[in-house]
Amino acid sequence: MSGADAIDVAAEQWAAACPRLDVAPGDVLARIQRLAQLIEEAQNRRLRRRTGMVVNNLGDFDVLRALRRVGPPYALTPTRLRQAMLVSGAGLSGRLNRLQKEGWITRETSPDDGRSSIVRLTPEGVADLDRDLEDHYAFESDLLRALDLDRRRRLAGDLRPLILDLEERL
């Protein structure tokens, strides 16, 4: 028995204040949301503090990661980027503007389709990013240290169907 978290406390309060209301399902969602907030805040702080890391924003970092992991020539269209990343078109444009201004990426018009563009990681961008990625994943691993490997796997396995279901329906 290792204690009650903030959501347990809230659930107890609900039971006392509104016994007829079934808030049990909300517990899982509330925990997911609270964790996401804690994690994102921690990651943003980390990104901002890291010397050499000009990106100070997890959203921008996500764009770079998506470009990096497709492999050479590290290029994607904005539409493909959006599919990887759950952000509005306007939001993505903003991210790309910032990253371009900082020299991480270039934008060229697509030869196949004049409406489309090709976002490409610059060579220095790739190099800088590779330096930062290792630190980033080490940090993520540290954030998860409360869970052993089995629990992580089980957690991932339980979260996957939820994502699949919601992505399909929403």
Partner DNA sequence: TAAAAGTAGTTCGCGAACGAAGCAAATCTA
Partner DNA sequence: TAGATTTGCTTCGTTCGCGAACTACTTTTA
Summarize as ranges the residues that interact with a copy of itself (CB under 8 A): 2-3, 5-8, 10, 13-14, 16-18, 21-29, 31-42, 66, 68-71, 84, 86, 130, 133-134, 137, 140-141, 143-147, 151-152, 154-156, 158-167, 170
Is residue 95 involved in binding DNA (CB under 7 A)? yes
**Burial profile 155-166: b = 16 or more Cβ within 10 angstroms, e = fewer:** eeeeeeeeeeee
Cβ closest to a copy of itself, residue 6 vs residue 127: 6
Cβ closest to DNA, residue 119 vs residue 129: 119
Q: Please report which helix (H) or strand (E) contains residue 122, including its range.
A: none
Q: How many CA atoms lie within 13 A of 165 on its CB side?
A: 5
Which own/partner pairs from 36-42 qualify as long-range (CB within 8 Å, at least 24 positions apart)?
39/143, 42/143
DSSP letter string, 19-71:
TTS--HHHHHHHHHHHHHHHHHHHHHHHHHHSTT-----HHHHHHHHHHHHT-
Nearest approach in angstroms of CB 146 to DNA is: 23
Is residue 33 involved in binding DNA (CB under 7 A)? no
Q: Interaction with DNA in 102-121: which residues (CB under 7 A)?
A: 107, 110, 113-117
Nearest approach in angstroms of CB 113 to a copy of itself is: 23
Nearest approach in angstroms of CB 47 to DNA is: 10
**Binding partner of residue 163 among a copy of itself, DNA, none, CB under 5 to 8 Å per kind?**
a copy of itself
Query: Are the C-beta atoms of 44 and 56 separated by less than 8 Å?
Result: yes
x/- mask, DNA, residues 44-83, rule CB under 7 A, reads ------------xx-xx----------------xxx--x-
Q: Please report which helix (H) or strand (E) contains residue 109, including its range.
A: strand 105-109
Cα–Cα distance measured from residue 37 to residue 114, given in angstroms and rounded to the nearest whole number: 39
Give the binding site for DNA (CB under 7 A).
56-57, 59-60, 77-79, 82, 86-98, 107, 110, 113-117
